Amino acid sequence: MQLTGIAQVGTLGFDTIIDVRSPSEFAEDHIPGAINLPVLNDVERAEVGTIYKQVSPFDARKIGAALVARNAAAHLLGPLADKPGGWRPLVYCWRGGQRSGSFATILRQVGWRAELVDGGYKTWRRLVVEAVAASVLPPVVVLDGNTGAAKTAILQAAAAQGAQVIDLEGLANHRGSIFGGMPGGQPSQKAFEGRLAQALAALDPGRVLLLEAESSRIGDLNLPKGIWAAICAAPRVQLQVAAPERAAYLARAYADVAADPAQLAALIDKLRRLHAAEVIAQWQDWAAAGDLAALAQDLMIRHYDPRYEKHRARHVQHGVTLPVQSLAPEALPDLAARVVGAAEALVTR
Angle between helices 225-233 and 120-133 (to 10 degrees): 10
Is 93 one of the annotated active-site residues of the chain?
A: yes
Q: Which of 37, 40, 93, 296 is catalytic?
A: 93
Q: How many residues does the chain have?
A: 349
Cα three-residue angle 219-179-146, rounded to 5 degrees: 85
Local structure of residue 61 (DSSP, 8 states) = H
End-to-end CA distance of the chain: 46
What is 180-241 written as a DSSP string? -B-TT-PPPHHHHHHHHHHHHHT--TTS-EEEE---SEETTEEPPHHHHHHHHHS-EEEEEE
Parallel, antiparallel, or unpaired: how do β-strands 89-92 and 115-116 relate?
A: parallel
Mapped onto helix, strand or coil, the DSSP state of residue 291 is: coil
Q: Say if residues 117 and 1 touch (Cβ distance below 8 Å).
A: yes
Rounded Cα distance, 129 and 148, in Å: 33
Residues labelled as active-site residues: 93
